[in-house]
A = this chain, B = another copy of it.
């Protein structure tokens, strides 16, 4: 393979089958063959999200993970509603901005960099004010901090059961455990280019029956046109029942690629896939520690399993390290959290890089890092 090995927290490396599906010949978006593939994707997504409740509604829409916020903020809550945003990095700020765009009041509960709000802090916040929704960034891609989604869900059910639970799973769906039904999640959103393993361009959502009811009980119509549940629910329901229906032309080739990837994912139980990502993550994190490097995550249980955010040694500017790694045909991501962006980097280990260890992606990446560090004079 002459192209560089992409080890960033999305886009990830894609399987050969997925890339081949991207070149699918042009197909009518209302042809029975295509509709069947789209419908099958929706049904397979139920399995990926571990939901068996027929009231759950999957969505696959052309766009990006960012658009998932519009889908939540313009349909499930409305002008004047209060939402509690658990803040573990960059993406909570953006989600907050999205809520505000639609007139929704977002209150942030912030943690220091590398940390996450404690359950006690969340409980206190939930008791101080009635929130229509709480949002949890499962893995914040900017910091690699993992939230305790299960713990927060249990807490919400206990102290504020009417509050809708939103999981921003852009960097977690299909690599971190999400028990959509069991934990009582109301909406989980993701994008195609992360652990779902498909080139960027699709926004993917799962909404609970209760989440759909919250939309149905709105006083005002949805705040967005392209991101309107009113438009998309009939489309998704038609596709899943294998009937054509038109609102906007779907990204046909990406839908075929999604089909290829979901089939690969569902060849094994989701639990095995989550375990693979934990194993890969442990492997990377041990190697990082062995090199004497420090993670952003303040505690081991705060660290995501699909990526690792690592401080450069001795405050070395990341701009010095990155080109040396790139020269070895391995790509890491630079920092994104504005306060420390120049002092850390991020390694992605999702999808085939974690599940197909015969590719050797993790070792190739770690070797490149070790050698690059040595070249900077750091003795790893």
Q: How far is the CB of A237 from chain B (nearest CB, A)?
A: 18
CB of A59 within 8 Å of the partner chain:
no
Nearest B residue (CB) for A254: B201
| Chain B, Cβ-Cβ closest to A67 | B226
A14 to B24, CA, bound (A): 10
On whether A62 and B201 interact (CB within 8 A), knowing A225-B101, A228-B101, A331-B31, the answer reads yes
Contact indicator B252/A11 (Cβ below 8 Å) = yes
* CB-based contact A11/B28 at 8 Å: yes
Stretch at the interface among A15-23, A44-52, A261-269: A15-23
Question: Which stretch, A112-120, A207-215, A243-251, A271-279, touches the partner chain B?
Answer: A243-251
Contact with B along A116-154 (1 / 0, CB 8 A): 000000000000000000000000000000000000000
The interface residues of chain B lying within 8 Å CB-to-CB of A169 are none
Closest B residue to A170 by CB, please name it: B249
Is A333's CB within 8 Å of the partner chain B?
yes
Residue of B nearest to A8 (CB): B28
* Contact between A191 and B20, CB atoms less than 8 A apart: no
Query: Is residue A69 contacting chain B, with contact meaning CB distance below 8 A?
Result: yes
Q: Is the CB of B62 within 8 A of A64?
A: yes
Chain B: minimal CB distance from A219 (Å): 15
> Is the pair A23, B19 in contact by a Cβ cutoff of 8 Å?
yes
Kindly state whether residue A107 has any CB partner on chain B within 8 Å. Answer: no
In the complex, the count of this chain's copies comes to: 2
How many chain A residues touch the partner (CB < 8 A)?
59
Question: Any chain B CB within 8 A of the CB of A58?
Answer: no
A248 contacts which chain B residues (CB < 8 A)? Answer: 63-67
> A74: which B residues are within 8 A, CB to CB?
224
The answer to whether A11 and B25 have CB atoms under 8 Å apart is no
Could you tell me the distance between the alpha carbons of A201 and B193 in the complex, rounded to whole angstroms? 14
Is residue A39 contacting chain B, with contact meaning CB distance below 8 A?
no
Are A225 and B14 neighbours in the complex by a CB distance under 8 Å? Answer: no
| A378 smallest CB distance to B (angstroms) | 24
Bound Cα distance from A23 to B70, whole angstroms:
29
A368, CB-defined interface residue at 8 Å: no
CB pair A200–B331 under 8 Å, yes or no, is no
Find out whether the CB atom of B8 lies under 8 angstroms from the CB atom of A200.
no
User: Nearest chain B CB to A257's CB is how many angstroms away?
Assistant: 9
Known contacts A62-B63, A248-B65, A248-B66; is-contact A23 B25 (Cβ 8 Å): no
> For residue A102, which residues in chain B have a CB less than 8 angstroms away from its CB?
225
Q: Are B29 and A200 in contact (CB under 8 A)?
A: yes
How many Å lie between the Cα of A27 and that of B66 in the bound state? 19
A131 to B305, CA, bound (A): 54
A interface list, Cβ under 8 A from B: 1, 3, 6, 8, 10-14, 19-20, 22-23, 25-31, 62-67, 69-70, 73-74, 97-98, 101-102, 191, 193, 199-201, 221-228, 246-254, 331, 333, 336
Q: List 22 A-B contacts (CB under 8 A).
A: A3-B25, A6-B26, A6-B27, A6-B28, A11-B28, A12-B26, A19-B23, A22-B23, A28-B333, A29-B200, A63-B226, A66-B249, A70-B225, A70-B226, A70-B227, A102-B225, A191-B249, A193-B249, A193-B252, A200-B252, A201-B201, A201-B254
Extra inter-chain contacts (15) besides given A31-B331, A65-B248, CB under 8 Å: A1-B25, A11-B26, A28-B331, A29-B200, A62-B200, A64-B248, A64-B250, A66-B247, A69-B225, A73-B225, A101-B221, A193-B249, A200-B253, A201-B254, A251-B254
